[in-house]
Structure 1
Amino acid sequence: MFNRENERVRLLSRNGTDWTKRYPWIAEAALKNRQKRFVIDGEAVVLGVDGVSDFNALHSRKHDHEVQLYAFDVLAVEGDDLRALPLHLRKTKLERLLVQRPDGITVAPFEWGEIGPDLFRAACRMGLEGLVSKHLDRPYRGGRQKHWIKVKNRGHPAMERDL
């Protein structure tokens, strides 16, 4: 959560670990946003020269100063809880929130449609960890849900950590 009134940014992992000091570029980017308070759901990434997330660079801890946030969703803005809104409206609000595109926070690409074999193969060729597919009309729910699907690229280095 970010609250500019007291110049405070908190970057919290899924399990509640505070990573604010570990990823200073994300915190600095949040301070540059025009909104004072907001909550974003996203993923910390290190982008390679090809613009693709470099999983090994992220986990090496050698590039913590380069880690940025890939924003997937917005959960609250200025005290308004947005979680009950359908995904497509939250995506629109996320785009508006990050319209200035401060270095350090990027809106993750969002494709409308189905995850088909061609799209999945293209993601694997790009070296992506996988794809997530969510219903456009669903509210936000934390954790794994039956209303969304994560398809993993089994050839990705991240899969070694799952074993």
Structure 2
Amino acid sequence: MAPTAEHGSAPYPVIRPMLATVGPLPGAAEEAAWAFEVKWDGARCIVNTPGDGTIRLVTRAGNDATTTYPELGPLGAQLHGRPAVLDGEVVVLDAHGRPDFELLQRRMGVVNPRRTARLAMEYPVHLVLFDVMYLGGSLLGTPYHERRSVLSGLRLRGANWSAPAYVAGHAQQAWQASLQGGFEGVVAKRLASAYLPGVRSPEWRKTKHLQTLDVIIGGWTEGHGGLTGLPGSVLAGVAEPAGLRYVGSVGSGLSDRERQELARYLGVIPLDRSPFVNAVDVAGAHWAEPRLVAEVAFTGWTSAGRLRHPIWHRLRPDLTHLG
């Protein structure tokens, strides 16, 4: 049983968020048993209320974010009456109505009341609610589809929060809709799944939309610990008419064998200056002649023109850059 905590005049259970595993969408033979939601590019948030019209917001790390997002305070009035615990994601939407994690980062961790009030006007957050784990009593063992029915019945609608519906049994429809909408991906949740606090469960699966890009390696940074002397990450660029433009460093996904291979290749093509036409904002860079081409996967572009969440796929010896 989850531990309880007091807040205001009534108790509610302290519940850690359930987490999804990375995996493919359920196939046609099993998709009827699954629900599909948009994967939001934001920050997980647990909403707690003792039922007195106030709320307490807690991040995935367990930090109190109530004062960070003051525009979510009025949600408490809609939850007035019964102690409740809900699950959701805090996002900041761009001009096209799509989540922008860079904008959200300007809000995260800020606790000064004057500053949070100003930021709430400049970059208002939106809380996407997708589960309810407690409502005057525990719903942890209640199947997902029943919890969602309870959540829908609360009719939580406001300028800064909503509880979007899910799609049941239509994986590809959800996938295409999220792709066309410019969202990060899809989260599949088994309709019969219980809510398992703090557990990364295969009953929930997340699948991201990934783009691939061939980039030119113009340098590298040294790894730490057991990777001393080897590339911890490579400095990636794309060829443009003005020259090679730096688009970010890529280290995630590199195997030990690939790091050793890259060390051998980069060791024979050192350069005494940056090959990039724009600034490279990393410390300890080792430059290299921009000859090696690699394929990377990423989820999108930042406003600064950098790759978002880049992952190394493979070296492309068939595409050696000669320009």
**Does 1:73 find its partner at 2:131?**
yes
Distance change (3 Å), C-alpha of 1:160 and 1:48: closer
User: What CA distance in whole angstroms lies between the structure 2 residues aligned with 1:60 and 1:92?
Assistant: 34
**Does 1:40 find its partner at 2:86?**
yes
Q: Secondary structure at the match of 1:73?
A: strand
Aligned counterpart, 1:109 = 165
Aligned counterpart, 1:126 = 181
After TM superposition, the structure 1 stretch with the greater mean CA deviation from structure 2, 30-39 or 12-21, is 30-39
Q: Once the 2 structures are TM-superposed, how far is the Cα of residue 45 of structure 1 from its aligned partner?
A: 1.1
Distance change (3 Å), C-alpha of 1:108 and 1:19: same
User: What CA distance in whole angstroms lies between the structure 2 residues aligned with 1:25 and 1:85?
Assistant: 31
146, 156, 160: which one aligns with 2:202: 146
CA contact (8 A) 2:143 2:194 kept: yes
After TM superposition, the structure 1 stretch with the greater mean CA deviation from structure 2, 101-110 or 128-137, is 101-110
1:147 aligned partner, one-letter code: E
Q: Secondary structure at the match of 1:91?
A: helix
Q: What TM-score comes out, normalization by structure 1 length?
A: 0.83
User: What CA distance in whole angstroms lies between the structure 2 residues aligned with 1:2 and 1:64?
Assistant: 24
Distance change (3 Å), C-alpha of 1:157 and 1:27: farther
Aligned counterpart, 2:50 = 3
Distance change (3 Å), C-alpha of 1:22 and 1:157: farther
Aligned counterpart, 2:190 = 135
Larger proportion of strand: 2
Q: Once the 2 structures are TM-superposed, how far is the Cα of residue 157 of structure 1 from its aligned partner?
A: 5.1
1:135 aligned partner, one-letter code: R
Q: Secondary structure at the match of 2:171?
A: coil
CA contact (8 A) 1:127 1:156 kept: no
CA contact (8 A) 1:71 1:107 kept: yes
Q: Once the 2 structures are TM-superposed, how far is the Cα of residue 161 of structure 1 from its aligned partner?
A: 4.7
Q: How much identity, in percent, do the aligned residues show?
A: 28
Q: Deviations over 1:113-145 (max 9, x none)?
A: 1422x5324312322111100110111113421
User: What CA distance in whole angstroms lies between the structure 2 residues aligned with 1:84 and 1:132?
Assistant: 20
CA contact (8 A) 2:132 2:150 kept: yes
After TM superposition, the structure 1 stretch with the greater mean CA deviation from structure 2, 125-134 or 101-110, is 101-110
